[in-house]
Amino acid sequence: MKKMASVFAMLVLALSLLAGCGTSYQDGLYHAEFKDYDSHGWKEYVDVQVADNKVTVLTFDGVNADGAKKSEDEDYRASMEPVKGTYPAKFYADITNQYLESGNLKDVTTVAGATVSTDNFKLLMSALEANMKSGSTDTVIVDSSSSEN
């Protein structure tokens, strides 16, 4: 019985140490965007809400110079969907759902037909992570030259 208690105590200690190694995010609203518009006239961004150390709301989209959202552009959808089998509203949702389900950027896999946007999401979220840890709600601007954006 004494040996079992020791094993249990060691297991609890090991699990608590592992829990301490996890990422700790501060509650708040965070925003990251690319510095420049891409060659098609879009600038992708992420908006993140953190509560209780977890990302609870996540928006990934693109806007043009007029402020119109890429996910709502029906002409873009009509030209992209027949060729790529996806479109912005669908692939933005696929990418964000992957992240929300796992809570880990490493678990986000490339969405077929949206490789550049998947990579852009990872760049934006990686850049935003320091703010989410520190609690700084300053907008993070990501240089477009670090992406194919």
Sorted by where each starts, the structural domains of the chain and their CATH numbers stand as: 24-146 (3.90.1010.20)
**Among 144, 142, 139, 131, CA closest to 55:** 131
Handedness of CA 84, 90, 93, 97 (dihedral sign): negative
- Residue 46 vs residues 13, 92, 127: alpha-carbon distances, Å: 37, 10, 11
Question: Beta-strand (E) ranges in 39-134?
Answer: 43-51, 54-63
- Residue 72 vs residues 40, 59, 83, 87, 99: alpha-carbon distances, Å: 15, 13, 18, 10, 22
Q: What is the pLDDT along the chain (149 residues), one digit of tens a residue?
A: 555 444 444 444 444 333 444 579 999 999 999 999 999 999 999 999 999 999 999 999 999 999 999 999 999 999 999 999 999 999 999 999 999 999 999 999 999 999 999 999 999 999 999 999 999 999 999 997 655 54
